[in-house]
Amino acid sequence: MLISAGKKRFLIKIKESKMGNSFKKMSFKSKLIFSFIFVSIIPMLLVQSISYFNTTSAMKENVNELITYNLAQTEKNLNTTLNSYMDILYQIYTDDEIIELVKKINAETDSAMEISLLRDKLSKLTNSKEGIRSIAILSAGGKTAFYDTLTASSLDSSWMNKNFEKSEFYRDITSSKGSVLIPTSYASQLGDKKYYLFHIANKMVDFNDIRKDAIGVIVISIDEDIIYRACNEVDAKKEAKKSVRSVNFIVDKKGYIISFPDKDLIGANISLFDPAGTNGQEDGYTAAARKISYFDSSSIITNSLTSEKNGWIIVNAVDQSFLFSKVYMTQRLTITFGILALLFSIIIIFYVTRNFSGSIRKILHAMKTAQEGELSVRVELDDDGDEMSAIAARFNKMIYKINKLVEEVRAATFKQKEAEIRALEAQINPHFLYNTLDAINWMAIEKDEHEISNMLKSLAQILRYSVNKSNSIVKLREEIEWLKQYIYLQQTRFNYSFECFMEVDENVLDFNIHKLLFQPFIENVIIHGFEGINKGGVLDIGIKGRENSIMIVIRDNGKGIDPETVSKLNSPDDKEITAKGSGLGASNVFNRIKMYYGDSGSWQVESETGKGTTITLKIPKL
């Protein structure tokens, strides 16, 4: 019995070996057909059968994951939107001029002028960003200055109604740490459109003496549509697509609605929709979602996410019947198209394999020829648009590029040698200039022309600093010293028609900076900004350190730049800007910042014709 069993095992091994050898001896075409049938068709039928029963549960899990992801992304969008308005709030309560005006309003009995000036500033800030309907400042003395786009009045605010308690509101804001988000409420109505506003507020302090009490409170009122669009990715000029039947809305910790498709329900508490829990396990979020007109009220799925930053609750509501009707339709279509694709694949595989092996042989032959060093080889295949044609085309393109690179390397090697020769020849010129300037300097000293002597010394230092490794990295203090010499020469040249004031933080002097980075801006101010000015020009240069960057502010009271040019200069995508009369070329100034620092470096140009220009550069610490 044992011997018989052993013989059977031996026979099976022989048969398996013969089958393996037979498969190895098959042509590539036969192997491809056999493999396709064994690996694709049979498993495909099995998978289709199993997937039919598993798709529903899997799709439901995927939907839940997508909803969770959607809520997380929505929170990010919401926080990003709110942060952009927080930035404007920060800009206001750190503005020295606004702080001084508020202090004067608190100190003076008749402060109409200061309130008017403050209102002008607030009007510009209100129009600086979409969605801001009002900016108000409540002073510690009980006076109010605001700009309101809804009322267009200096006396009537859209959200400070008769029942508004200024003192209580003021105490709440000044006692809070940081900025305060105030829930959405009805504000005003213009024509048929109702406006609902939410507010962000922050106390104002005198930064010269922060130990004192707050000098006022800033309140920015923002259209609720802003956060609704941020949460639902709705275009500003279009409404949400009702066919999607999925919407996000926001409630606060107390259950009051902050943002909702039906604006009339904003400010209501979700407990009002199901106060007694009459719908069983259905919560208030689902009950609120039923109020949306384009939802099937019989089947709604709600999920929520509480924002860690502000405590608002983002609720996602999805029409379940609409959602999973497409899932079931997808299942049926998948099975139908799977069967059709299977039949089509069986037919097409016989057609494709007929030319497939021949194409492979041509490509392998070309590769072997290229491997032997013949880079002029090309694969000649019919451009049928299939994968083999694409491989052949890419192979031909690769060989062409390799051939081209070989030629470029040869040319680059030749040019490098020429550049090295020219560099050696050019070393003579700087030394000749230094020696000549030194000789002229001593001639000026002998003739008691000390001002000329000082100018020559400064010029020699400028040339020596500029010529020596012009693209190298230096200490900021070295750049400042060189800049002083340069400005001295320009002041002498233009008969002291302008003054220069420089304020540099001590703690940034030893930071590294690329040489001559912001000199073109200084030159532009002197040559173009002060053009035609014989007296009274002022050039302010401020350099301050931040946590991971250096801020350079260059300000002048020259003739300024027109708005169209300023817009172009502030565009990071406009790579070849040459502003007429400004002397600024992105290839020479802004492109250096891009090249050196990438996205970490930035600039901002602000200018008003006839009043001057301010250029702010931000570069990372090296």
Percent with pLDDT over 70 in the chain: 76
d(CA 314, CA 434): 70
Q: Is the pTM of this model over 0.75?
A: no
Distances in whole angstroms, Cα of residue 218 to Cα of each of 57, 79, 90, 173, 328: 52, 20, 10, 9, 54
* pLDDT per residue as tens digits for the range 557-615: 999 888 888 888 887 655 444 444 444 444 467 777 877 888 888 888 999 988 899 99
Q: Over the chain, what is the mean pLDDT?
A: 78
What is the structure's pLDDT at 540?
Answer: 94
Residue count (the chain): 622
Q: From the CB of residue 100, how many other CB atoms can be counted at a distance below 10 Å? A: 12
Beta strands 537-545 and 498-504: pairing type? parallel
* pLDDT per residue as tens digits for the range 440-464: 767 777 777 767 777 777 777 777 7
User: In this structure, what is the dihedral angle of CA atoms 20, 24, 28, 34, given to the nearest 10 degrees?
Assistant: 0
In this structure, are residues 102 and 204 in contact, taking their beta carbons and an 8 Å threshold?
A: yes
Nearest-CA neighbor of 78 among 311, 288, 261, 285?
311
Q: Tell whether the model's pLDDT for residue 1 goes beyond 60.
A: no
Contacts of 102 (CB under 8 A, 6+ apart): 118, 137, 139, 204, 215, 216
CA 401 to chain centre: 35
Domains recognised in the chain with CATH numbers: 94-230 (3.30.450.20), 475-620 (3.30.565.10)
Q: Is residue 94 left, alpha or beta, with left meaning phi > 0 and alpha meaning psi from -120 to 50?
A: alpha
Q: Which residue has the higher pLDDT, 203 or 598?
A: 203
What is the structure's pLDDT at 218?
Answer: 92
Q: Tell whether the model's pLDDT for residue 309 goes beyond 90.
A: no
Enumerate the H helices of 427-475 as residue ranges. Answer: 428-446, 450-467
User: DSSP letter at 193?
Assistant: E
* pLDDT per residue as tens digits for the range 394-433: 888 888 888 888 887 877 777 666 655 555 555 545 555 6
What is the structure's pLDDT at 431?
Answer: 57
Q: Which residue has the higher pLDDT, 3 or 145?
A: 145
Q: Which two tokens stand for residue 209?
A: 């003496």
What is the structure's pLDDT at 87?
Answer: 92
Q: Tell whether the model's pLDDT for residue 364 goes beyond 70.
A: yes
User: Which 3 state secondary structure label does DSSP give 542?
Assistant: strand
Contacts of 211 (CB under 8 A, 6+ apart): none
- pLDDT band at residue 23 using 50, 70 and 90 as cut-offs: low
d(CA 198, CA 443): 75
By CB atoms closer than 10 A (0-12, 13-18, 19+), residue 127 is: exposed
What is the structure's pLDDT at 299?
Answer: 74
